[in-house]
Amino acid sequence: DSKTKRYKTDFLVNSVFSTKKILLSGKVLFNDPVTIYINKVADKIFEANKDLDKSKFRIYAYKSPIVNAIAFNDGLVLINLGLIAQLENEAQLALILCHEFTHFVNNDAIELFLESKEIDNGTGIYSNTTFSDKMLYKSTYSQERETNADLEGLEKYKKTNYSLKPINGVFDVLKYSYLPFD
């Protein structure tokens, strides 16, 4: 419908400006050893997953102590140095990249935005819902997207030459990232 088209256009316009702001922030590392390493790991994933178009991605290390990674709707993937510092091995980084690539392929950023708008506006199945219910719906929808990215990312990972054993604990790294010490 026209409202969804308008929301989608607004999202895409704002996304372009946000991405540009991030890239010019001084926090994105270009051609540094960490970014080069991350891209070498990504290359192994692209080699094993012919359905992933490498040309659609730009992958960089990001100067942030937060244990996180993010994929933007335009193919920008940022891996925070805080996450890199917590990972135990290259295989764990590969799994994280597969997870982020899945978010991009599935258009999760825009889908989350559109669903959030629908929830906020109380349209469709979200009509006549309380504020608390709306927050619960948003959280549940986001968790579904994360779980899906975990499962599909694991399938991409399994196509690589990486072993499954070294990825044990990678989700604990993310789960307990809020703690100040290991």
One-letter-per-residue 3-state SS of 69-130: EEECCCCEEEEEHHHHHHCCCHHHHHHHHHHHHHHHHCCHHHHHHHHHHHHHHCCHHHCCCC
Instruction: Report pLDDT for 37.
Output: 98
At 58, is the secondary structure helix, strand, or coil?
Answer: strand
Instruction: Report pLDDT for 114.
Output: 79
In the block, tokens 């990486």 appear at: 162
Question: Which residue(s) pair with 78 in the sheet?
Answer: 60, 70
Instruction: Report pLDDT for 181.
Output: 54
In the block, tokens 């926090």 appear at: 27
Contacts of 43 (CB under 8 A, 6+ apart): 54
Whether the CA torsion 48, 51, 53, 56 is positive or negative: it is negative
Instruction: Report pLDDT for 138.
Output: 57
Q: 124: exposed, middle or buried (C-beta count within 10 Å: 0-12, 13-18, 19+)?
A: exposed
- Ranges in the chain, pLDDT < 50: none
Question: Which residue(s) pair with 59 in the sheet?
Answer: 77
Residue type for position 14: N
In the block, tokens 């990678």 appear at: 170
